[in-house]
Amino acid sequence: MKILIVGGSGGIGFAILRCFLHSYPDAQIIATYSTHPLSFEHDNLKWLELDITDEPAIERLSNEIGAIDILVNAVGFLHSSDNKPEKTIKGFDSAFFHQNILSNTLPSILLAKHFMHSLRSGNKTFFIVLSAKVGSISDNRAGGWLSYRVSKSALNMAIKTISIEWQRRLPNCCVLLFHPGTTDTALSKPFQKNLPEGQLHSPDVTAKALLELIERSGPDDSGKFVSFDGTEIGW
């Protein structure tokens, strides 16, 4: 078995990496990082640098890796040192919006484009993208966070569209969108203060939930948007 974890140096990505090393002891795992690799090493693990917005780099990586069984994109962007999610439309900034699209929407499309041949197999394969419940239009009751919401909604539409195409082209591939819930990472840190008790959970809980989703899913489930608690999320 060969597994690619894009964003393996992030909070959720690293937890997924460790979970998969434990659960798939014979698997070869390739994990990517953007600028600095983690000091974590394992005989079955290979770290590779990747700019997820660089299409030629993604194409080179797909050619280098070849066939894979599971691809997980765990990369996400919510805020920077200069910008936080907008509370109202008056806080909208076009550069920040573009950064959200560039980080949250584009990479998964490029990964699907260039790794399609890697996921074509006579056996079951998985293409899994981390999304967010706030990208659900039907679930939007609070407003705000315009750039992040739009980038995730666009991501959801892209992956749903790809899943429909791949039902014909890659009938053994299960394409899933995964909502990790509010996970205790640097991404959610500025927004943890007023969370209801019990809403925040560890990256290990998120990783275990993803593993359980993989173990119970197959090609017939392709195109679903699933929460860490196992429930399906409306579009």
Alpha helices (H) in the chain, listed in sequence order: 11-23, 55-65, 94-104, 106-119, 146-169, 203-216
Q: How many CA atoms lie within 13 A of 45 on its CB side?
A: 23
- Residues with Cβ within 8 Å of 180's Cβ and at least 6 positions away in sequence, in order, are 12, 130, 132, 206, 209, 210, 228
Rounded to a whole number of angstroms, the distance between the first and last alpha carbons of the chain is 32
Q: What share of the chain has pLDDT > 70, as a percent?
A: 97
Residue 70 and residue 125: Cα distance in Å, rounded? 6
Residue 56 and residue 141: Cα distance in Å, rounded? 39
Residue 178 and residue 71: Cα distance in Å, rounded? 13
Residue 103 and residue 93: Cα distance in Å, rounded? 16
Q: Where are the domains of the chain?
A: 2-227
Q: How confident is the model at residue 147 (pLDDT cuts 50, 70, 90)?
A: very high
Q: How confident is the model at residue 81 (pLDDT cuts 50, 70, 90)?
A: confident
- CATH of region 2-227, choose from 3.10.129.10, 3.40.50.720, 3.90.1300.10, 2.120.10.30: 3.40.50.720
By CB atoms closer than 10 A (0-12, 13-18, 19+), residue 94 is exposed
What is the tens place of the pLDDT at every residue in 202-215? 999 999 999 999 99
Q: Report residue 14 as tokens.
A: 């690293």
Dihedral (C-alpha) 216, 63, 31, 56: value to the nearest 10 degrees?
-120
- Residues with Cβ within 8 Å of 63's Cβ and at least 6 positions away in sequence, in order, are none
- Put simply, whether the predicted model's pTM sits higher than 0.85 gets the answer yes
pLDDT at 112 exceeding the cut of 80? yes
pLDDT at 185 exceeding the cut of 90? no
DSSP for 114-134, please give it. Answer: HHHHHH--SS-EEEEEE--GG
Residue 177 and residue 5: Cα distance in Å, rounded? 15
